[in-house]
Structure 1
């Protein structure tokens, strides 16, 4: 993975964590809401360590109780 991809994944992860905290959810809550995502996956995404499939994006949105488009609404400089 190149430097730009790493930066985008980190910023995306920060955005996901902010959405989760703003909603008052724990990582365990997201797991319970989605049923297809593990706590390790959420942690990796929030820390910018995981590139994932589109279906995971949909599951993540379900777990966070937001529309998928809200996950992509972040600044990438």
Structure 2
């Protein structure tokens, strides 16, 4: 179950990133994070911190709660 939520969250990040036509590198730059870290998040390999969730949400110009919608189902 732990891994499943990481995968769902990562998919959500990727979905928003692609909707905005951003590469992983572009999102990483906007969020002040490393590109490989973004890739690891999207693949569900990293248990991301709240601070980095906030950075990603701001870089995607969305509210944090949007990243969590429908991932617990």
Question: Could you tell me the TM-score, scaled by structure 2's length?
Answer: 0.88
Question: What CA RMSD, in Å, does the superposition of the two structures yield over aligned residues?
Answer: 1.2
Structure-2 residue corresponding to 1:46: 42
Rg larger in 1 or in 2?
A: 1
Question: Could you tell me the TM-score, scaled by structure 1's length?
Answer: 0.84
Distance in 1, Cα, partners of 2:55 & 2:9: 15
Unaligned runs of 5+ in 1: none
Select the residue among 13, 18, 21 that pairs with 2:18.
21
Structure-1 residue corresponding to 2:29: 32
Distance in 2, Cα, partners of 1:41 & 1:50: 8
Distance in 1, Cα, partners of 2:27 & 2:71: 23
